[in-house]
């Protein structure tokens, strides 16, 4: 739980230097208590699986959250029951006049297509632009991260010789940022993608900060606008068996797929996965909510604009 201490207590600044979350009483007393509004644009085919993965991580916080699901009007999901979509998702057109504390945009199975050939490109870039004036902080994940970097900053993507698939070791490039509070010097992240963005392209853009990368899987996280936007190429939200399901699915289809690296115990697909990323996944989402959503949201959410 975060610590709620008396105003101006000397320990507050000392605890902040140690990366301990301390609630500012003046803020807590001035702000009407309300849930943080989080909207998820879920572009993954198996929407219920992705919803479960994300809600599991978002629930690991003492903050009260109100979660909404957004869908595209220009694209119809073929892998999720229509009844589910009607019950829990709303078209962007019905949500465009609302404001949100946080937004998550997921990956999508279109990464090998040129961006402009994606049937919903025009609608999704409209949503990206809308988020800048209606959302306090946005997490772009996997393909959405690549698409956001391209749309806002012209960062290209490149095809990989083979799928980046497995659990990879990462390090932090910029120390002391709240998004990494509690992280170890080395942490693990699942990746599952056929394309990449490259560090040299990100470093050319003065408005982007390359926060984390891997010697094996490359760029992991970039930040823009002081944390109003995070671009994350991996899948920290994945459950323990997601890569296993993807691997066995592709094997069953006869697709050229290698066993996910650093995933199964003893590198044997008959064994259970060795889960090494869940602790940092929980920290990532909790830190984002605490420090870039809650702490940065205006008292009146309409002031985002």
Residues belonging to the binding site for substrate are: 163, 192, 249
Contact between 58 and 38 (Cβ < 8 Å): yes
3-state secondary structure of 194: strand
Annotated catalytic residue within 51, 142, 213, 280: 142
CB distance 239 to 54 below 8 Å? no
* Helices and strands in the chain, H and E counts: 9, 12
Please identify which of the residues 134, 170, 235, 280 carries the catalytic annotation: 235
Distance CA 238, CA 190 (A): 7
Helix (H) or strand (E) holding 14: helix 10-17
**The Cα angle at residue 231 between residues 273 and 202, in degrees rounded to 5:** 115
The answer to whether residue 84 is catalytic is no
Concatenating the DSSP letter of every residue in 15-62 gives HHHTT--EE-HHHHHHSPP-PEEEEEE--SSSHHHHHHHHHHHHTSSS
Query: What are 186's strand-pairing partners?
Result: 171
CA 162-42-241 angle, to 5 degrees, is 55
Q: CA 151, CA 15: separation in Å to the nearest integer?
A: 39
3-state class (DSSP) for residue 237? coil
CA distance 218 to 110: 20
Active-site residue flag, 151: no
DSSP 272: P
Residues involved in catalysis: 142, 235, 237
């Amino acid at each position: 739980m975060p610590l709620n201490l008396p105003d101006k207590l000397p320990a507050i600044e000392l605890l902040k230097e140690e990366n301990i979350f301390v609630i500012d009483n003046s803020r807590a007393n001035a702000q009407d208590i309300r849930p943080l509004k989080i909207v998820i644009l879920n572009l993954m085919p198996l929407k219920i699986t992705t919803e479960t993965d994300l809600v599991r991580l978002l629930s690991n916080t003492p903050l009260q959250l109100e979660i909404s699901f957004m869908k595209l009007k220009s694209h119809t999901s073929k892998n999720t029951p229509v009844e589910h979509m009607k019950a829990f998702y709303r078209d962007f057109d019905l949500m465009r006049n609302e404001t949100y504390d946080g937004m998550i945009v997921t990956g999508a199975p279109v990464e090998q297509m040129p961006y402009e050939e994606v049937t919903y490109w025009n609608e999704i870039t409209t949503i990206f632009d809308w988020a800048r004036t209606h959302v306090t902080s946005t997490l772009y994940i996997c393909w959405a991260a690549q698409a956001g970097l391209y749309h806002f900053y012209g960062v290209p993507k490149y095809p990989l010789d083979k799928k980046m698939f497995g659990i990879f070791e990462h390090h932090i490039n910029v120390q002391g940022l709240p998004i990494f509070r509690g992280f170890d010097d080395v942490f693990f992240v699942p990746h599952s993608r056929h394309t990449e963005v490259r560090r040299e392209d990100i470093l050319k853009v003065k408005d982007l900060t390359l926060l984390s990368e891997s010697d094996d899987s490359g760029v992991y996280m970039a930040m823009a606008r002081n944390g109003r936007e995070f671009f994350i190429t991996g899948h920290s939200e994945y459950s323990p068996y997601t890569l296993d399901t993807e691997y066995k699915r592709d094997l069953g289809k006869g697709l050229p797929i290698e066993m996910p690296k650093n995933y199964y115990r003893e590198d044997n697909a008959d064994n259970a996965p060795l889960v090494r990323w869940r602790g940092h996944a929980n920290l990532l989402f909790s830190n984002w909510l605490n420090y870039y959503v809650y702490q940065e949201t205006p008292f009146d959410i309409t002031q985002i604009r």
